[in-house]
Structure 1
Amino acid sequence: MENVKEGFIPVTGGKVWYRITGNGPGIPLLLLHGGPGMKSSDSDPLRQLGAERPVIQYDQLGCGKSEWPEDTALWTVDRYVEELGQVIRALELEEVHLLGHSWGTMLAASYLFTKPGGVRSVIFSGPALDAQRWERDQRAYLKRFPEPVQKVIEESESQGTTDSDDYQETMMQYYKTHMCRVDPWPDELSEDLDQLNPAVYNYMWGASEFTVTGTLKHFDATERLHEIEVPALFTCGRYDEATPEATEQYASFVPNSEFHVFENSSHMPAFEEPEVYVETVREWVNRQEMKPGG
């Protein structure tokens, strides 16, 4: 891909890797990946927007191509918020559109609560803005699965055998319904999950999507979403772990926000409906820049 620039940025605790795709004239789009402990996607279809605006990805500390220090004191929302600010300053981004996916929506909201300047708009993709709600919603989904599936998951989690083949195979049935419905899964998605840093995921989140035992256990941004003053778009898939009901409720707390459902997706519309996903993001950011004062 043309016009790709990569490098490393020193942040609190280590160095993080970044990549800028394209140098179009629009306001840069900065992507906050999911996890915690995941990485940026090399085949992210949003990179196609590079001809219109720089598309910036970075792997959060402890993820992907960034450094993986082992100090748990670094795995806090506040430090990741600080890191985001350090990335924006290092790349001299006077204005940005933010797009957070999954855990990245927790990061985006927490950053916006610090009232930074220069954010033109924000997209909450598959939002996880209330950890307890997320856990409840996954458990409600799980009740729709056959009894043997529920049994394996419940027993593995209560007995601490979540690294067993039986558990992993059963979890895939869940993921193929509510995480990514492309069959078979794209190689890159499988590789991205294989490269997840389990130390960060387990410390901040927990054993699985159903069981939040980590430091994010009581994360809940809903009481503060009304403080977000920048234009906000909330999106999710029809079968998303971030349920349409939860996502629409989050949107209702943010003044003048918009809500969109990808009808043929679960949690990974970038893989499930890439053309529609890109077009939705393109239309949104272009419209924000056409507003008066834009």
Structure 2
Amino acid sequence: MKKIILKFTKWALLICLAIFIVKGCIPTTPDVPHITPRATTQYWNLPTGSKIAYTHIAGKGEKKPYPIIYLHGGPGGYVYTKNIETLGKLSASGYDVYLYDQVGCGLSERLENVSEYTAVRHVNDLEAIVKLLGVEKVILVGQSWGGALAVLYSAEHLDKVDRIVFTCPGAIKPANEALEKIKAPDSLNLKEPYNPNSKILPIVLQPRYVSIGIWARFFGKKLANDKEADGYLTGMANVFTKGLVCDSTNVLKEEGGAGSYCNLNTSVSYGGLKDPRIKLKNNKIPVLVMKGQCDNIDWGYTKEYLDLFSNSTFKLIPSAGHQIFAEQPELYTKTIKDFLTQ
């Protein structure tokens, strides 16, 4: 009887595996929005080979010498219309404001070879943009993963960074996971945001998406075209963005700019990075670190930015989650403006 049960179990597992593999090979059409160019959308063809979509809001009145460059989250995120609306207001103070979709994201071109999506590629693209602008220095505003990207760039181009604004920055790469154990001071009164993991899991475990991830990460190949792959990440974003705010009614509507292969492969490259902390030791860059009261990033990772950048200012934004610009747009803009003009 035991042999019969073992044999049945073996065949059942083989059948399930076969079904999984077959489903993983069948293309799908996720029912999600797909981003379209705005009236303000322009493009850079960079010497790195990246075709980058961006929006430029020209500074008004007396121009400031250094432009603001916004680095969105992810990897695999994009510039929301809300980002343009909020940061664009800084142009009234004379700042040229540039918001661009990282390669493989938003309205920017997708790469054919997915193994080319690396953190170093994003740093090189940013440096190419700075050179293209022809300015001596830039002001970086890094959101989430964009904060980690700002650190990587600054480590290699310290002389080109005037100031940095970190808004709910993600872990500095390569991440020190021990920092997750550091508890926030009770005085901050941080609040736990909604945890959407149980709702995302059914999407993550879909045979087709699992297969897409395996082909991308282990073979550097696209099992699905970019539209299909991006659709899965957009589907997940429709769920996990509910954990990026304090009040679920403030969730931003997804515009369909997710970059799935950028998301899958950029993170794989973190382990091979040179530690940027070494080159940034004793740096004097003026830095603002903003954190939403309901931010989902562990306090230890936020604190590392304050420790690494000794010339830093910390601002806790009440009643805001990871996307401060979505819930507290006026305070978000004012806090950045006050920092830039102090």
Q: TM-score range by the shorter chain?
A: 0.7 to 0.9
Of 262, 265, 270 in structure 2, the residue corresponding to residue 216 of structure 1 is 270
Give, in whole Å, the separation in 1 of the partners of 2:194 and 2:74: 24
Shift of 1:116: 3.8
Shift of 1:95: 2.3
Matched, 1:183 2:246: no
Answer yes or no: is the 8 Å Cα contact 1:75–1:204 preserved in 2.
yes
Shift of 1:229: 3.0
Q: TM-score, normalised by structure 1?
A: 0.75
Of 25, 32, 51 in structure 2, the residue corresponding to residue 15 of structure 1 is 51
Answer yes or no: is the 8 Å Cα contact 1:60–1:66 preserved in 2.
yes
Give, in whole Å, the separation in 1 of the partners of 2:201 and 2:271: 19
Of 72, 90, 109 in structure 1, the residue corresponding to residue 132 of structure 2 is 90
Pick closer, same or farther for the CA change 1:225–1:236 going to 2, 3 Å: farther
Pick closer, same or farther for the CA change 1:47–1:145 going to 2, 3 Å: closer
Q: CA RMSD in A?
A: 3.5
- Count of residue correspondences: 262
Of 262, 267, 283 in structure 1, the residue corresponding to residue 338 of structure 2 is 283
Give, in whole Å, the separation in 1 of the partners of 2:75 and 2:157: 23
Highest relative contact order (Cα 8 Å, sep 6+), 1 or 2? 2
Matched, 1:54 2:77: no
Q: How does 1:13-52 map to 2 (within 5 A)?
A: 13-24=49-60, 25-26=63-64, 27-44=66-83, 45-52=86-93
Q: Which has the higher strand share?
A: 1
Q: Which has the higher helix share?
A: 2
Of 97, 100, 111 in structure 2, the residue corresponding to residue 69 of structure 1 is 111
Residues 84-131 of structure 1: per-residue CA shift (max 9 Å, x gap): 010011121222211111111111101111134232101121111254
Answer yes or no: is the 8 Å Cα contact 2:82–2:326 preserved in 1.
no
2:329 — aligned with what?
274
Answer yes or no: is the 8 Å Cα contact 2:163–2:286 preserved in 1.
yes
2:263 — aligned with what?
201
Residues 183-206 of structure 1: per-residue CA shift (max 9 Å, x gap): 15233xx22xx320111112223x
Shift of 1:162: 9.7
Shift of 1:78: 1.3
Identity value in percent: 24
Pick closer, same or farther for the CA change 1:134–1:276 going to 2, 3 Å: farther
Q: For structure 2, which runs of at least 5 residues remain unmatched after alignment?
A: 1-39, 182-189, 211-233
Residues 239-265 of structure 1: per-residue CA shift (max 9 Å, x gap): 112234431342123222111111111
Q: TM-score, normalised by structure 2?
A: 0.66
- What SS class does the counterpart of residue 215 from structure 1 fall into? helix
Q: How does 1:113-124 map to 2 (within 5 A)?
A: 113-124=155-166
1:290 — aligned with what?
none
2:5 — aligned with what?
none
Pick closer, same or farther for the CA change 1:72–1:132 going to 2, 3 Å: farther
